[in-house]
Amino acid sequence: MNRILISVLGHGLLGISAMGMAALGFLWYSPSGATPSGKQEGEWRLLEPVSYENLTVFPVVSSSGYDTSAFLTLEDGLSSGEVTVREQGGDVIYRNRDGSRPAVQNYGGPSVNQLVLVNHSKRPLLLLAGELVSGGKQDRVIAKDRIVAPFGEPLPLNVFCVEHGRWSAGSQFNEAKTIVHPSVREQAAVKQKQGDVWAAVTAGSVAEMSSAAPAPRVPSADLQATIREEAPTQSYSKIYESRRVNSSVETVVSEIQRRFRKETSGLNGKRVVGVVVAYGGEVAWSDIFASDELFNHYWSKLLRSYAVEAVARPTVREKASADDAREFLRRLSGREQTESEPGVYRWREINEEGLSQIELDTLAPKMFTLHRLVVRRTS
């Protein structure tokens, strides 16, 4: 039996089920049970923002967290050989891990939107939407946050292509050192349409831009010239690591990193577990983790992704308010969609007006939320 279960729950049903899930951890916990919709979750607090040009980052700190050392990340798993990702071939995919007769699925030849992943390690593997795996017939990004159980059989991995112009020889993927910027990541994690992912890769930013707004550091004309001259296959990595783009991105990264280190030093028992991100006066994004260890692992890749988005947006110097940033710490109220693999993970998405909240819970050996994303949808 396929162990992936998908359900769509109305807000009323969520209220009933959440009462039995108070043990999920800091994202769900409150002294009286699950966090009510509209209330701030966990024990998070915002520090003073750090800004450079049109990018503002609010550090999110907590006095508590979880031990996440048992989890293997995709970058570490690929570099150590404990995780393999390859193009789909004539593989037979085994989905059951409980010792019963496995269900067999044959997935034919290579596919743009599906790869094959094997977690050979003894640790559960954490995947984040937007992580880029390079190699194979074309570079791809992970489609959804999920956890892959240890010692698993080959399983189908949903992905999106970020290299529209290549379909060449190659089967193995060898590294995952990049997280794509929010405009692309939103298309993968929320809209989940391949055409929109490709469009975001070549557009830079899909946020609405007023004709009266100041020009981006890297305007669309520069991106198109880069694609023609340096990235004819429309490779995400080649576009955003090109000479035209990279120098602007690295300037933003360096300035924010320096100011971030200063603001987050000497916290006296508090730990940085995430960030809320604004462009100009608009709060647009947040990434919050179950521990400072996980946040620190992803922080350099996340910061670069935020910087890529910043250089593709107008250089508006207006700053977002802390009150607007705190809106990204509250639990959204709306229709919920969930997906789960019993004993391994639960993924859920809640949509409220122009915001989407996506959470990934680990279910064993202890239930808690590993990663929480809130995004202001661009469409």
Supply the pLDDT for residue 284.
97
Residue 168 falls inside a structural domain: yes
Higher pLDDT, 91 or 247: 247
At 187, which amino acid appears?
Answer: Q
CB 217 within 8 A of CB 248: yes
Among 163-172, 178-187, 246-255, 369-378, the least confident range: 163-172
Per residue in 180-214, pLDDT (tens digit) is 999 999 999 999 999 999 999 999 999 988 888 89
The residues, any chain, with a CB within 8 Å of residue 346's CB and separated by 6 or more, are 338, 339, 340, 360, 361, 363
Supply the pLDDT for residue 41.
62
131: alpha, beta or left? (left if phi > 0; alpha if psi -120 to 50): beta
CB 117 within 8 A of CB 85: yes
Residue 309 falls inside a structural domain: yes
CA-based nearest residue to 280, from 212, 200, 231, 198: 212
Stretch 249-277: mean pLDDT: 96
Supply the pLDDT for residue 36.
55
Spatial separation of the C-alpha atoms in residues 168 and 108, rounded to whole Å: 18
CA-based nearest residue to 166, from 224, 259, 90, 233: 233
Q: Is the pLDDT of residue 72 over 70?
A: yes
Place of tokens 């929320």: 190
Supply the pLDDT for residue 126.
98
Per residue in 100-117, pLDDT (tens digit) is 434 445 556 789 999 999
Residue 166 falls inside a structural domain: yes
Stretch 165-173: mean pLDDT: 84
Per residue in 126-145, pLDDT (tens digit) is 999 999 999 999 999 999 99
Range of the domain at 58: 5-67+247-376
The model's pTM is: 0.86
Residue 88 falls inside a structural domain: yes
Identify the band that residue 152 occupies on the pLDDT scale cut at 50, 70 and 90: confident
Residue 77 falls inside a structural domain: no
If DSSP states are collapsed to H, E and C, what string results for 168-192? CCCCEEEEEEEECCHHHHHHHHHHC
Spatial separation of the C-alpha atoms in residues 22 and 41, rounded to whole Å: 12
If asked whether residues 213 and 303 sit together in one domain, one would say no
Place of tokens 């020009």: 215
CB 339 within 8 A of CB 5: yes
CB 174 within 8 A of CB 86: no
- The torsion angles phi and psi of 248, rounded to 5 degrees, stand at -65, -40
Task: Name the domain boundary from 197, 216, 242.
Answer: 242
If asked whether residues 337 and 254 sit together in one domain, one would say yes
Distance of CA 90 to the CA centre of its chain: 30
Supply the pLDDT for residue 174.
85
Instruction: Please give the tally of structural domains in the chain.
Output: 2
Residue 75 falls inside a structural domain: no
Supply the pLDDT for residue 6.
40
If asked whether residues 24 and 63 sit together in one domain, one would say yes
The residues, any chain, with a CB within 8 Å of residue 338's CB and separated by 6 or more, are 6, 7, 8, 9, 346, 347, 348, 349
If asked whether residues 106 and 148 sit together in one domain, one would say yes
What is the pLDDT of the chain when averaged over all its residues? 86
If asked whether residues 42 and 125 sit together in one domain, one would say no
Supply the pLDDT for residue 365.
87
Q: Is the pLDDT of residue 254 over 50?
A: yes
Q: Which percentage of the chain shows pLDDT scores above 70?
A: 84
Q: Is the pLDDT of residue 266 over 60?
A: yes
If asked whether residues 205 and 290 sit together in one domain, one would say no
Stretch 63-80: mean pLDDT: 95
If asked whether residues 225 and 270 sit together in one domain, one would say no
Per residue in 304-314, pLDDT (tens digit) is 999 999 999 99
Say how many CA atoms lie within 13 Å of 21 toward its Cβ.
20
Residue 295 falls inside a structural domain: yes
Residue 72 falls inside a structural domain: no
CA-based nearest residue to 71, from 132, 147, 142, 151: 147
CB 249 within 8 A of CB 307: yes
At 361 the three-state DSSP class reads strand
Supply the pLDDT for residue 322.
96
If asked whether residues 44 and 12 sit together in one domain, one would say yes
Task: Name the domain boundary from 183, 215, 242.
Answer: 242
Say how many CA atoms lie within 13 Å of 136 toward its Cβ.
29
Q: Is the pLDDT of residue 379 over 60?
A: yes
- Name the token pair of 13: 């049903």
Supply the pLDDT for residue 113.
96
If asked whether residues 170 and 289 sit together in one domain, one would say no
DSSP state at residue 111:
B
Spatial separation of the C-alpha atoms in residues 172 and 235, rounded to whole Å: 17
Task: Name the domain boundary from 223, 242, 261.
Answer: 242
Spatial separation of the C-alpha atoms in residues 147 and 371, rounded to whole Å: 11
Among 13-17, 86-90, 103-107, the least confident range: 13-17
If asked whether residues 224 and 95 sit together in one domain, one would say yes
If asked whether residues 87 and 218 sit together in one domain, one would say yes
If asked whether residues 94 and 236 sit together in one domain, one would say yes
